[in-house]
Amino acid sequence: MNRYIVVSSDGHAGLHAADYRPYVDAKYRDAFDIALPIQIAATKRMSDYFLITDINKEWRRGNEAELAGAWDPSARDKMLDNDGIAAEVIFPDGVTEMNAPPFGAGFGMHPEGSNSELMWAGCDAHNRFMSEFVQTAPERRIGLACIPVYWDIDLAVEKTKEAKRNGLGGVLLPPICGNFPAYHYSQYDPFWAVCQDLDMPVHFHSGPAPMQEFFGPMPPPEGQTIPEGAVGSYLMEVHFWLARPLNFMLWGGVFTRFPKLKVALTEGTSAWVPDFLERLKFFYAESREAQKLGDFQGHLAESPAETFRKNVMIGASCMSRREAEMRHEIGVHNMMWGSDYPHPEGSWPVTHQHQIDTFDGLPGDEVEAMLGGNAIEFYGLDAEKLAPIAARIGPEKGTFNETHESQENSQ
């Protein structure tokens, strides 16, 4: 085939807040009706606080039809076709279209101030919507189930089985544990076991962080302005809070006990990976600096940096030129390009040009891996089903002035 199969590792979909109602269990609909106006008001206040309303308004102009793809399957397919994307991983949404799932479910599933029963009910609602959404074009959509695992590990196991039965392709976990045990504790083992056995990759997505430390009370009181420095310092840490669960899992020996478990870290860039890997290597060795704390690696079957190579994928949304140039340090087989539709910081609706800027002049086999090959392998996608789609809409080979020999030297 003379076209690339592009798989976006990062897309978002969700309903307008009110439209989740029919997906909520009947017994929680009264609570839903009470919570809805409060949720909408809080989302609006957050949106204004972060100036998202204004930016969004300008950016949306003229794009309204394709933006409906955030919840409408046929608009979604048109957007994918125009963007040259054969298949995509779909996270919940929360900002752009005011379409956060009910009861605080979705992205953050934040451990503080939440009611666990309602949190599960909100996740159920979103997971049902996502399951329907996926069914409209199952070969093109890898839908993720929201699983707030720390509230109830047995329930998380059941919900993951249910998600698999309903055609979902992975799970999204909250990255911030608050006062719950972090992900190195072995009590999560039954959950890792089911994710491994059902081949449901575990996902973390950037965004959640201890927001009040940067921004003050959340949601912000009426009239509050953002403290100077809050946004910059928050952005600097986004990758840290995203990668933190993996740090716990790697050192906790999770992949020693579940060697086929897969983890994806999405939209935190991939530029932090080389430094992260160097530290893994440094501390795994018998470093002088570490030895005073005693044995902390005897339970690991291998170096956590090697584990990273085998079990971890980076959802490198809107991969930058710099990241593409660092690909051998990051791991050319650990990076999956992504569009981040429908967010303003994403590559849509200029994906084609964005990809040219990123991949220009790179070896063809490496471009192929980062654009889709790695994702096909990671998610076990059916390349034969994707080929005819890509043959119709994928970027042509040669588009990126690719070279023919691989320069790969991934260590």
Residue ranges binding a second copy (CB under 8 A): 50-52, 55-56, 177, 182, 184-186, 213-214, 226-233, 235-237, 239-240, 244, 247-248, 250-253, 269, 271-272, 274-276, 278-280, 282-284, 288-294, 296-297, 299, 304, 318, 343-345
Q: What backbone phi and psi angles, to 5 degrees, belong to 165?
A: -60, -35
CB of 219 to a second copy, least distance (A): 16
Is residue 257 a contact partner of residue 194, using CB atoms and an 8 Å limit?
no
Distance CA 158, CA 181 (A): 20
Q: How much of the chain is in helix, strand and coil states, percent to nearest 5? A: 50, 10, 40
CB of 110 to a second copy, least distance (A): 16
357 or 360: whose CB is closer to a second copy? 357
Q: Which of 166, 128, 106 is nearest to 25 (CA)?
A: 128
CB contact set of 194 (below 8 Å; sequence gap of 6+): 157, 160, 161, 200
Distance CA 183, CA 260 (A): 17
CB of 234 to a second copy, least distance (A): 8
Tokens found for residue 320: 């930058």
For the chain, what's the residue count? Answer: 411
73 or 344: whose CB is closer to a second copy? 344
157 or 243: whose CB is closer to a second copy? 243
Residue 219 preceded by cis peptide, ω within 30:
yes
Phi-psi bin for 43: left (phi > 0), alpha (psi -120 to 50), beta? alpha
Q: What backbone phi and psi angles, to 5 degrees, belong to 105?
A: -70, 170
Which sign does the torsion angle of CA 114, 126, 166, 139 carry? negative
CB of 352 to a second copy, least distance (A): 16
Is residue 244 a contact partner of residue 275, using CB atoms and an 8 Å limit?
no
Phi-psi bin for 172: left (phi > 0), alpha (psi -120 to 50), beta? beta
34 or 285: whose CB is closer to a second copy? 285
124 or 329: whose CB is closer to a second copy? 329
CB of 185 to a second copy, least distance (A): 6
137 or 226: whose CB is closer to a second copy? 226
